[in-house]
């Protein structure tokens, strides 16, 4: 689950965020402890704590003294908004810049995306053999 080339504590934070997005962790649910994360990912507890601290700093988790970390109300919406913005920066902006170079309109780009999406949803057969 941990991939090289990216800080482990950031990956831990993203995995917790993924659980919030998919509903595994709902608002006000208790988040896994630092020790649980460290054992599950086989990492140093200090690294897991750094990932949790990142989420606290972002307002995704809150600490309840003596009890543990809990998902903050509205955390899912915050995570989705942050991820949408990052997606736009990483993919949409470069896509639009390249489309502009090619002389494609926004509608032309949308048509390309729809066509590719339909192909992905309904893969065509090639030489009589389904892919």
Burial bucket for residue 5 (CB in 10 Å: 0-12, 13-18, 19+): exposed
User: What CATH number is associated with residue 64?
Assistant: 1.10.10.10
| 64 & 98 share domain | no
Reply yes or no on whether the pLDDT at 127 is more than 80. no
| 13 & 34 share domain | yes
Residue 63 lies in a domain: yes
| 62 & 15 share domain | yes
Whole-number pLDDT of residue 1 = 67
| 66 & 13 share domain | yes
Domain assignment of residue 96, given as a range: 77-121
| 56 & 109 share domain | no
Residue 102 lies in a domain: yes
| 66 & 84 share domain | no
**Kind and range of the H or E element at 69?**
strand 68-71
| 13 & 49 share domain | yes
Residue 65 lies in a domain: yes
Mean of all residue pLDDT scores within the chain: 92
The residues near 96 (Cβ < 8 Å, ≥ 6 apart) are 106, 109
| 36 & 63 share domain | yes
| 70 & 43 share domain | yes
- Count up the domains in the chain and report the number: 2
pLDDT tens track for 19-64: 999 999 999 999 999 999 999 999 999 999 999 999 999 999 999 9
Q: What sections of the chain are H helices per DSSP?
A: 8-21, 34-41, 45-57, 75-87, 93-102, 106-121
């Amino acid at each position: 689950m941990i991939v090289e080339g990216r800080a482990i504590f950031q990956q831990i934070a993203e995995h917790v965020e993924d659980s919030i997005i998919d509903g595994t962790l709902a608002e006000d649910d208790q988040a896994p402890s630092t020790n649980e994360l460290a054992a599950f990912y086989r990492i140093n507890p200090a690294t897991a704590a750094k990932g949790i601290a990142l989420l606290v700093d972002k307002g995704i988790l809150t600490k309840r003294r003596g009890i543990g970390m809990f998902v903050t109300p509205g955390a899912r919406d915050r995570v989705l908004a942050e991820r949408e913005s990052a997606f736009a920066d990483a993919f949409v902006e470069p896509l639009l810049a390249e489309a502009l170079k090619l002389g494609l309109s926004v509608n032309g780009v949308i048509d390309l995306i729809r066509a590719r999406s339909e192909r992905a949803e309904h893969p065509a057969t090639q030489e009589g053999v389904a892919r």
